[in-house]
Amino acid sequence: MELDVTGGGNFLTFHPQKLTAYSDPASAMKQFQPYPFIIGSIGLKDDISETLSYNIRLSRDSILRNSVEGTLSLRTDNFSLEFGPFIGMTDTLEMPFMGMLGSIGFTYPGIVFFSLSASSNLTRLGFTSDHTRESAAVKIGFWMPFMIPSFTASYKNFTQQISETHFIQDSLTRLQVSIDFHGKNFPITIRLDGGYQVYSRFYSHLGNEYSDTLNSFFAGGEISWQLRNQTKITIGAELPVIINAASPMTAPLFFTMPKITAGFVYTFK
């Protein structure tokens, strides 16, 4: 059995309860105000057989909000499949919404790997809900001597209906290049990240529609240290090094919007 705990903060976040756009002419505030959103997850994973396992995870994400996930995973040397339900909820503890998530992956050990994942709530299938959550990601990577470079394209979307005539929609699109550095029998691994992202919030109220958008190049990384056979700790950070805001909204100083995480993995034996 494996326990995975991660926590941290993301300052590149619209205030969850902000209902007026910066681009609204009636808004006196035009500069984006970073909001310290607490992010994190707690996961419990265990094997059912040599190829089948289950995973239960509680998470809080600046885009997808709060969720509880339960999945079954089938893994072989060359193939992986994960599928299960999730229950989501906003911080205001309104009526929860349900959905499904899953992923599929292919691996040629030592050469290349590829994965595709997605999630969506059941509103698309006719189940009523005031909120819509969707996500998708594709990742491809290669094994090289002492490093694993990879490319990830991902999209997250969350729509919150305030009333019949008022809703807001957060979305984040990221293109990310990562390089994992590792050494045989060496307890520390280092990952460097860089890429481009588009973060936006769309507002609609009584026929009036506005959009606030931040475009940025980001850089970051993570260090993992295997303390012993049962425990691994991780520390990570990310910063939008070049950032631009769609007019009339203006961007704040880049160093006011860091993302910082720390966590550990403990294996029960």
Determine the pLDDT at residue 122.
79
- Judged by phi (left if over 0) then psi (alpha if -120 to 50, else beta), residue 157 lies in beta
Determine the pLDDT at residue 123.
64
Determine the pLDDT at residue 66.
94
- Any residues with CB less than 8 A from the CB of 92 and at least 6 apart, and which? none
Determine the pLDDT at residue 90.
87
Determine the pLDDT at residue 53.
97
Structural domain including 131 reads 2-267
Determine the pLDDT at residue 16.
84
Domain count, the chain: 1
Rounded CA gap, 203 and 169, in Å? 7
Determine the pLDDT at residue 127.
54
The C-alpha angle with vertex 45 and arms to 43 and 49, in degrees rounded to 5, equals 170
Determine the pLDDT at residue 129.
65
pTM for the predicted model, two decimal places:
0.93
37: which DSSP letter?
E
SS3 128: coil
Determine the pLDDT at residue 149.
98
**10 Å Cβ neighbour count for 77?**
9
Please give the span between the terminal C-alpha atoms of the chain, in angstroms, as a whole number: 7
Q: Which residues of the chain have pLDDT under 50?
A: none
User: Is residue 30 within 8 Å of residue 248, measured between CB atoms?
Assistant: yes
CATH at 88: 2.40.160
